[in-house]
Amino acid sequence: MDPISYERAADVNGALRSAQEPGSMYIGGGTNLLDLMKGGVSRPMRLIDITRIGGSLDTVATLPDGGLRIGALVRNTDAANHALVRERYPLLTQAFLAGASPQLRNMATVGGNLMQRTRCQYFYDTAFAQCNKRLPGSGCAALEGLNRTHAILGASPQCIAVNPSDMSVALAALDAVVRVRGPSGERTVPIGEFHRLPGDRPDIDTTLQMGELILAVDLPPPLFSDHAHYLKVRDRASYAFALVSVAAALQMDGNTVKDARIALGGVAHKPWRSHAAEQVLNGHPLTAANLRTAASAAVADARAQRDNAFKIELAQRAIVRAVNQAAGRAGGVA
Ligand code: SF4
């Protein structure tokens, strides 16, 4: 067993200082990191507990532009049920509540949700020698193995894993911004640039720099509260990761779509915002034909593995259903 040192950070600057030590990792709710450590997938030498920092990291606050700032340490349950999140960003509440179990949501933090790692079974099982994400350069067992749950978009020959977060899919649709601070100061990262595609470095999940700490997620002013729906398709009714999920949000002018937001989960190494589908819908009446064309555009570049071709059809059907639900047309459009 490897020795691990533990310390509790009193404030952000203390956490950043501690993180300069090689082998350091921040720990919040620990709902993913502890599993990774128990399985020998992650081997930090020093854990920096950030859960007692408090202050703005632990609160939800309105922004001057009418948006909302959710601190990185706000628990998923608290974020989902916050009155302003429920009222102004129902898409985000739905996505939070679709994730994990009540017990896990009570522990997991918003920052930790952004950082959770893929659930690819070969990544978690160290008995498999091939996993480029766990052991760079070792190969990818999923390519020739069981890949029913893996990516259909944005994959690479080095990794076909998917990002497991529901919250991040809603954030992608809402154009959220992640605030981070590191040794050289504070910066903002648009959610679409926070998670990476695997390319030839699937071991790197995000664009965070060494030692950077997530402070908060900023949501733009709420323009989609009237027409939003998060649809998660999974093998069980609860406590299961998405085969495909869709975050759909609309601004409508009568029957015409003023602005559509469509993001997919369970299909790629990062939450997959489909601008192609949105462009088909924007400025046009929401008809069944337009919706089918949009759904088709979303998967135009999809590539299936041996076991997951069903996801290409499933993603299209899920988009159609989610957009219809967002528009308040549970029975579909003509
Ligand atoms: Fe590892 Fe990615 Fe291949 Fe899974 S898909 S075995 S995480 S390299």
41 pocket-lining for ligand 1 (C-beta < 6 Å): no
Split at pLDDT 50, 70, 90, the class of 228 is very high
Is pLDDT of 330 > 80?
no
Which residue, judged by its Cα, is nearest atom 3 of ligand 1? 140
Q: Where in the chain is the domain with CATH 3.30.43.10?
A: 1-53
What's the gap in Å between 100 CA and the centre of ligand 1? 22
Q: Give SS3 for 20.
A: coil
Per-residue pLDDT reduced to its tens digit, 138-149: 999 999 999 999
Please choose from 41, 42, 121, 133 the residue to mutate so as to test ligand 1's pocket, defined by most ligand atoms within 8 A of CB.
133
Q: Where in the chain is the domain with CATH 3.30.390.50?
A: 228-326
Is pLDDT of 332 > 90?
no
pLDDT at 333: 61
Counting beta carbons within 10 angstroms of the beta carbon of residue 223, is it exposed (0 to 12), middle (13 to 18) or buried (19 or more)? middle
Per-residue pLDDT reduced to its tens digit, 166-181: 999 999 999 999 999 9
Q: What is the DSSP string of 299-319?
A: TTT----TT-THHHHHHHHHH
Please report how the helices 310-326 and 288-298 are oriented relative to each other, as an axis angle in degrees rounded to 10: 140
Q: Is 151 within 8 Å of 167 (Cβ atoms)?
A: no
Is pLDDT of 2 > 90?
no
pLDDT at 331: 63
326 pocket-lining for ligand 1 (C-beta < 6 Å): no
> What is the chain's length?
334
Is pLDDT of 323 > 60?
yes
Rounded to whole angstroms, the Cα distance separating 137 from 76 reads 35
Per-residue pLDDT reduced to its tens digit, 151-206: 999 999 999 999 999 999 999 999 999 999 999 999 999 999 999 999 999 999 99
CATH number of 1-53: 3.30.43.10
What's the gap in Å between 87 CA and the centre of ligand 1? 39
Mean pLDDT, the chain, integer: 97
Query: Does the domain at residues 228-326 carry the CATH identifier 1.10.10.10?
Result: no
Which residue, judged by its Cα, is nearest atom 2 of ligand 1? 159
Is pLDDT of 307 > 80?
yes
246: phi then psi, degrees, rounded to nearest 5: -135, 125
140 pocket-lining for ligand 1 (C-beta < 6 Å): yes
Query: How much is the average pLDDT of 278-301?
Result: 98
Is pLDDT of 334 > 60?
no
What's the gap in Å between 258 CA and the centre of ligand 1? 39
What's the gap in Å between 157 CA and the centre of ligand 1? 10
